[in-house]
A and B are shown apart, each in its own frame.
Chain A
Amino acid sequence: QQQVKQSPQSLIVQKGGISIINCAYENTAFDYFPWYQQFPGKGPALLIAIRPDVSEKKEGRFTISFNKSAKQFSLHIMDSQPGDSATYFCAARVLRKTDSWGKFQFGAGTQVVVTP
């Protein structure tokens, strides 16, 4: 059961363009939303994360937009570069001490290809 739904499955964008990946979640107990970047043959690496008390967080060319009422969040990659070509995963986690404390739910991933 995929509690975090991610789209699109794949994305091709030209160098300099904007890549947008969307995620939707169901469990309102989630209160931490990170994005991970994974290159072939490597484990995922944390890219940027947000908590639901803010609607946007920006780090360099990467921005998370968060819509709590819609239970959606998205990753924007501005000025996309060929080196950004990777698989991106959204995730959601429960920080409060409940039965789901600490559990991570990941999206299925989006393969991004940035063409020169």
Chain B
Amino acid sequence: EAGVTQSPTHLIKTRGQQATLRCSPISGHTSVYWYQQALGLGLQFLLWYDEGEERNRGNFPPRFSGRQFPNYSSELNVNALLLGDSALYLCASSSMGLNVADTQYFGPGTRLTVL
């Protein structure tokens, strides 16, 4: 069974640009989570989607947004990029939707570098 996949692996942008990151969950999983992993800060929760709806979001500005498609894949958009947005962005999926204690399976991440 294929795991969570993310694309691209690496992304280099300049300040002010927009970045789009993509995630494909494990087949059958309806929930997708996005996290930012910056050096020394651990994982910061960004967004949670389930069944196409945004269920909750972390303490990030509105320029971090996303969506979930009917096939449950998801896209994270970061607008007006800042140098501080440079980080590893991780996507995770789970199979039990609104049962929030379910196991999350993480993808390998997208390394975003803002120059």
Q: How many chain B residues have a CB neighbour from A under 8 Å?
A: 25
User: Which among A49, A94, A104 has the greatest number of chain B C-beta atoms within 10 A?
Assistant: A104
CB < 8 Å: which of B44, B104, B108 contacts A42? Answer: B108
How many chain A residues sit at the interface, stated as a range, is: 20 to 34
Please give 5 more A-B residue pairs, beta carbons under 8 A apart, in addition to A106-B44, A107-B42: A43-B106, A45-B105, A100-B56, A102-B56, A106-B42
CA distance A64 to B107 in the complex (A): 25
CA distance A45 to B58 in the complex (A): 21
What residues make up the interface of B, taking CB atoms closer than 8 Å to A?
4, 33, 35, 40-45, 48, 55-56, 58-59, 90, 92, 100-101, 103-109
Provide the residues of chain A in CB contact with B90, threshold 8 Å.
43-44
Which A residue's beta carbon lies closest to that of B88? Answer: A43
6 cross-chain CB contacts under 8 A: A32-B101, A42-B108, A43-B108, A44-B106, A93-B101, A105-B45
